Chains A and B, each alone.
Chain A
């Protein structure tokens, strides 16, 4: 049986709705259709609000462009990303052969930029998928069962949240050994607290709501209530958290690769394209080495953040007005 106390004033399912339907209109639908002039669902309304958010649309355009370019990378660049062009040589400025020039060993920067985009997208999506799963499960457990389970999970969450993320990730990635997989795993294993808190908070509210009480009275089991009735109600806020999470994960990956602790060379990443620029000579004399990647990361992160802003305003109209 469930561990949650039923509210004492819960109404039995047989009680009719406040506006009692007339015999001619047993479901009270005619009244509703008359009031709602234009029938749009909550989802459609959210989509409209999103489409009206100008920055979000800019974000969508930027992100879609980057994603498509990363997917069709081989079509956009004749050079394989790790191919060293000895004929052109290293550190050559942009030319017809190499639209963005070559790097310090003679690889095509444009190709490396495109394939670096792949790395960013894979890490962004992979890490967020992992921590959404962990955070949602832990949050559901904490919010649904309450009591000791809740206390233990939340104490753990607070501990992880209080630590500086980049530092923690550096330590753990180094411990496992840097690679794209360890970056995804570590960001995924350390990133869940925000999701967990959100899910728990939403669940605490949902738990007291009438439709859940109604479901319980009818005799719906714990698992069905959790996954069929409660979880779909959290999808909105989860989407927002996931979007911002992707931006953060992309930033973290590029930071790690920049420090030489992320994606292993020769696999390219926007972060490791920029690493060379720490040397002031490269910074000044080979700007085509680092500038495109710098612009790409900034645009991508900005774009994803704009989408997140738009989603937040669209899915939660109450918070839209607060800056």
Chain B
């Protein structure tokens, strides 16, 4: 297992490099002085009055060199040392910007994804077991409808109904003023987490149903039934375990999406997480910040794939990670 994980991580390095190269080159084409994005703003302010020093600094940082590979390698070297540069807009270091937001996003994401899985898998299984029943049609229809509803529409409807009209939950923000206890945080996370959970659950239901239908029609299920295994045991023990494999794949795709921030959900609920940071960075065309976003997403994608592989091995004992292909 350990050897496998190590090998996977090594294999994934080129992919990560590829992602960052694409992002780096694209972002270098944005207008604006790259110098402001890489120097401590206080230092920069002192240097502003002396253009010749600025020019020297520009040379020292390599901005007179070709974007690829020279500038990219310089950036990479700094990132490896933990220097991500500075945000143009907030004048703070990228490490601070990300560090202060990642926890909020993870808090929201873990609750939302857990909710999504807990809702979607049973619904998908029931829908498959009762295929072509009224229950199946209504559950599946609802999933199609929710999958076609844009997140922001769903989010606004939720705020409109539950926060503005029924006043059950707060409309936005992470916590009430002057309150930082866990109860208050949970009260605030209910609406955004439900929206995110529903949005993620809709495709999960459809995948679970399709995957379960495939498995339920296989011979070993018929055998199990013929032997007289209790129906619910056939479904849960025999079928679900195999049916889970494609679902794990889908989950692995959902995780990076959520880490990078449920961009729209965070925007609606003024949730101060990675998603809001992405929008802020994009609106201000903040290159260092956007580069950090790309890097974090890339890492999240690779980790999620790794988790998915381990998940396959857990769901299906035939999958052995240690053996080379």
User: What chain A residues lie within 8 Å of B19 (beta carbons)?
Assistant: 159, 163
Q: Name the segment of B109-117, B153-161, B221-229 touching the other chain.
A: B153-161
Are A162 and B26 neighbours in the complex by a CB distance under 8 Å? Answer: no
> What's the least CB distance linking B60 to chain A, in Å?
26
Considering the chains assembled together, what is the distance between the CA atoms of A255 and B151 in angstroms?
8
Q: Name the segment of A135-143, A232-240, A273-281 touching the other chain.
A: A273-281
Within 8 A of A (CB), among B258-316: 260-261, 263-264, 267-268, 278-279, 281-283, 285, 290, 293-294, 297-298, 301, 305
User: What chain B residues lie within 8 Å of A247 (beta carbons)?
Assistant: 148
User: In this assembly, does B150 line the interface, its C-beta being within 8 Å of a C-beta of chain A?
Assistant: yes
Are A298 and B153 neighbours in the complex by a CB distance under 8 Å? Answer: yes
Q: Which of B140, B152, B256, B264 contacts A164 (CB 8 A)?
A: B256
Are A290 and B156 neighbours in the complex by a CB distance under 8 Å? Answer: yes
Are A170 and B278 neighbours in the complex by a CB distance under 8 Å? Answer: yes
User: What chain B residues lie within 8 Å of A278 (beta carbons)?
Assistant: 156, 267-268
Considering the chains assembled together, what is the distance between the CA atoms of A198 and B234 in angstroms?
34
Considering the chains assembled together, what is the distance between the CA atoms of A247 and B285 in angstroms?
28
Considering the chains assembled together, what is the distance between the CA atoms of A254 and B151 in angstroms?
10
Are A259 and B279 neighbours in the complex by a CB distance under 8 Å? Answer: yes
User: What chain B residues lie within 8 Å of A176 (beta carbons)?
Assistant: 29
Considering the chains assembled together, what is the distance between the CA atoms of A305 and B261 in angstroms?
26
Within 8 A of B (CB), among A266-294: 271, 274, 277-278, 280, 283-284, 287, 290, 294
Considering the chains assembled together, what is the distance between the CA atoms of A167 and B297 in angstroms?
9
The winner among A167, A172, A277 for most chain B CB atoms within 10 A is A167
User: What chain B residues lie within 8 Å of A274 (beta carbons)?
Assistant: 152-153, 156
User: What chain B residues lie within 8 Å of A172 (beta carbons)?
Assistant: 26
> What's the least CB distance linking B244 to chain A, in Å?
17
Considering the chains assembled together, what is the distance between the CA atoms of A144 and B268 in angstroms?
47
User: In this assembly, does B188 line the interface, its C-beta being within 8 Å of a C-beta of chain A?
Assistant: no
Q: Decide: A175 near B27, CB < 8 A? Known: A159-B19, A280-B172, A284-B165.
A: yes
User: In this assembly, does B232 line the interface, its C-beta being within 8 Å of a C-beta of chain A?
Assistant: no
Interface of A, secondary structure class, is helix
Q: Look across to chain A and name the residue whose beta carbon is closest to the beta carbon of B151.
A: A255
Considering the chains assembled together, what is the distance between the CA atoms of A166 and B261 in angstroms?
10
User: In this assembly, does A228 line the interface, its C-beta being within 8 Å of a C-beta of chain B?
Assistant: no
Q: Decide: A261 near B279, CB < 8 A? Known: A175-B285, A255-B151, A323-B140.
A: yes
Considering the chains assembled together, what is the distance between the CA atoms of A91 and B30 in angstroms?
37
Are B26 and A254 neighbours in the complex by a CB distance under 8 Å? Answer: no
> What's the least CB distance linking B67 to chain A, in Å?
13
Q: Look across to chain A and name the residue whose beta carbon is closest to the beta carbon of B217.
A: A322
The winner among A171, A259, A271 for most chain B CB atoms within 10 A is A171
Within 8 A of B (CB), among A164-212: 164, 166-167, 170-176
Are A171 and B293 neighbours in the complex by a CB distance under 8 Å? Answer: yes
> What's the least CB distance linking A214 to chain B, in Å?
35
How many residues in B have their beta carbons less than 8 Å from beta carbons of A?
A: 56
User: In this assembly, does A260 line the interface, its C-beta being within 8 Å of a C-beta of chain B?
Assistant: yes
User: In this assembly, does A302 line the interface, its C-beta being within 8 Å of a C-beta of chain B?
Assistant: yes
Interface of B, secondary structure class, is helix
Are B256 and A175 neighbours in the complex by a CB distance under 8 Å? Answer: no
Are B256 and A259 neighbours in the complex by a CB distance under 8 Å? Answer: no
Q: Decide: A280 near B210, CB < 8 A? Known: A258-B152, A302-B148.
A: no
User: In this assembly, does B193 line the interface, its C-beta being within 8 Å of a C-beta of chain A?
Assistant: no
User: In this assembly, does B23 line the interface, its C-beta being within 8 Å of a C-beta of chain A?
Assistant: yes
Considering the chains assembled together, what is the distance between the CA atoms of A302 and B150 in angstroms?
10
Q: Which of B29, B128, B150, B298 contacts A298 (CB 8 A)?
A: B150
Q: Decide: A261 near B153, CB < 8 A? Known: A162-B301, A163-B297, A247-B148.
A: no
Are A323 and B210 neighbours in the complex by a CB distance under 8 Å? Answer: yes
Q: Which of A166, A271, A290, A305 contacts B144 (CB 8 A)?
A: A305
> What's the least CB distance linking A76 to chain B, in Å?
23
Considering the chains assembled together, what is the distance between the CA atoms of A277 and B159 in angstroms?
10
Considering the chains assembled together, what is the distance between the CA atoms of A30 and B260 in angstroms?
64
Q: Decide: A171 near B267, CB < 8 A? Known: A162-B301, A247-B148.
A: no
Within 8 A of A (CB), among B1-42: 15, 18-19, 23, 26-27, 29-30
User: In this assembly, does B257 line the interface, its C-beta being within 8 Å of a C-beta of chain A?
Assistant: yes
> What's the least CB distance linking B117 to chain A, in Å?
18
User: What chain B residues lie within 8 Å of A170 (beta carbons)?
Assistant: 263, 278-279, 282
User: In this assembly, does B322 line the interface, its C-beta being within 8 Å of a C-beta of chain A?
Assistant: no
Q: Look across to chain A and name the residue whose beta carbon is closest to the beta carbon of B31.
A: A177
User: In this assembly, does A113 line the interface, its C-beta being within 8 Å of a C-beta of chain B?
Assistant: no
User: In this assembly, does B213 line the interface, its C-beta being within 8 Å of a C-beta of chain A?
Assistant: yes
User: What chain B residues lie within 8 Å of A284 (beta carbons)?
Assistant: 160, 164-165
Can you sample 10 A-B contacts with CB below 8 Å? A159-B19, A164-B256, A170-B279, A170-B282, A171-B290, A174-B281, A176-B29, A251-B150, A261-B283, A305-B147
Task: State the A residues within 8 Å of B (CB).
Answer: 159, 162-164, 166-167, 170-176, 247, 251, 254-255, 258-261, 271, 274, 277-278, 280, 283-284, 287, 290, 294, 297-298, 301-302, 305, 322-323
List the 8 closest pairs (A to B, CB-CB), nearest first.
A174-B282, A164-B257, A302-B148, A294-B153, A284-B164, A301-B148, A167-B260, A280-B171
Task: State the B residues within 8 Å of A (CB).
Answer: 15, 18-19, 23, 26-27, 29-30, 128, 131, 140, 144-145, 147-153, 156-157, 159-160, 163-165, 171-172, 206, 209-210, 213-214, 253, 256-257, 260-261, 263-264, 267-268, 278-279, 281-283, 285, 290, 293-294, 297-298, 301, 305
